[in-house]
Amino acid sequence: MSEPAPAASSATSRQSSPYSLEGRRAVVTGSSSGIGRAIALELAGAGAAVVVHARRSRDAAESVRDEIRRRGVPGELVLADLGVAEGRARLLESAYRSLGTVDIWINNAGADVLTGDGAALSFADKLERLLAVDVRATIFLAREVGARMRAASGGVILNMGWDQAEVGMEGDSGELFGATKSAVMGFTRSVALGLAPSVRVNCLAPGWIRTAWGASAPEEWEKRVLREVPGGRWGTPEDVARVARYLCSDAASFVTGQVVRINGGAVR
């Protein structure tokens, strides 16, 4: 990758931090917007080269890639549908070709069944999309990347869960995400055992985060958030990204197999 190296003063500052990712190479799936975008930019700010991934949102993904490069580290872009085996293979091949090797892999991509065309799907079709992208893609990519990391010098994998999967939420969305994100969280705990000690695997479990759906949520949901969250506000994608950065850094070298809630203290 041919982008210029960070300025010496910036690199030196990052290297002195216990949370530095200077020289690391990262892939963040589903990083054209929302939580994935925030994680990609956070890792880049800590010194990591980042491959940005999107299914088809080229313009948004290019914007994230360009912002990464403006932070003085390499950034690349891959478009791939992770709901199918061919798309997963394309992402793996492109990412390793661009980076040479991968130190950090974030399985953030998820099917959108709450906004846009996805919101109008039947329950069965929503479930199929979530199983394909949120569950199968996470499992297959984590296993393949984990094997490569273990054969190399180790690495970090983060998956994406949901804080209410362990306690339940009423309604179709609660059932859909409760089932699929519980699968991801259970898989994380098990694969972490198989890949230890050279590869650490953890799962982020965000709560009420103001992403695209939250930005247009009805007033009743606004009231619910304030009622359920001791922190007194919606979380932001940046709140999640800062936890991701910590878990990817050497500061978290003794943390693996964990599901980490980022939810303002919400308990139901």
Q: What is the pLDDT of residue 5?
A: 46
Q: What is the pLDDT of residue 224?
A: 87
Q: Would 8 be classed as within a structural domain?
A: no
Peptide bond into 74 cis (omega under 30): no
Cβ neighbour number for residue 256 with a 10 Å cutoff: 20
d(CA 39, CA 225): 23
Please choose, from the candidates 86, 78, 72, 93, the residue with its C-alpha nearest in 3D space to the C-alpha of residue 31. 78
Mean pLDDT for the stretch of residues 195-208: 96
- pLDDT tens-digit readout, 212-231: 776 767 788 788 888 888 88
Tokens of 169: 């939420």
Q: Would 137 be classed as within a structural domain?
A: yes
Chain mean pLDDT for the chain = 92
Mean pLDDT for the stretch of residues 36-47: 98
Q: Would 64 be classed as within a structural domain?
A: yes
- pLDDT tens-digit readout, 99-137: 999 999 999 999 999 888 898 999 999 999 999 999 999
Tokens of 37: 């975008």
State the residue for tokens 């190296």.
5
Q: What is the pLDDT of residue 11?
A: 58
Q: Provide the 8-state DSSP code for 265.
A: T
Q: Would 11 be classed as within a structural domain?
A: no
The phi, psi pair for 52, rounded to 5°, reads -90, 135
Mean pLDDT for the stretch of residues 138-164: 97
Q: Is the pLDDT of residue 12 over 60?
A: no
d(CA 148, CA 34): 28
Q: Would 4 be classed as within a structural domain?
A: no
Q: Would 7 be classed as within a structural domain?
A: no
- The enclosing domain of 216 has a CATH number of 3.40.50.720
Tokens of 176: 């859909």
Q: Would 6 be classed as within a structural domain?
A: no
Q: Is the pLDDT of residue 65 over 90?
A: yes
Please choose, from the candidates 164, 245, 264, the residue with its C-alpha nearest in 3D space to the C-alpha of residue 202. 245
State the residue for tokens 């003063």.
9
- 87-101, 183-197, 222-236: which has the minimum mean pLDDT? 222-236
The phi, psi pair for 120, rounded to 5°, reads -90, -5
Task: List the beta bridge partners of residue 178.
Answer: none
pTM assigned to the model: 0.91
- pLDDT tens-digit readout, 250-263: 999 999 999 999 99
Domain count, the chain: 1
Percent of the chain with pLDDT over 90: 74
d(CA 226, CA 214): 13
Mean pLDDT for the stretch of residues 20-41: 97
Residue 202 is part of which domain span?
18-262
How many residues are recorded in the chain?
Answer: 268
Mean pLDDT for the stretch of residues 90-94: 98
Residue 14: how many CA atoms within 13 Å on its side-chain side? 23
Q: Would 195 be classed as within a structural domain?
A: yes
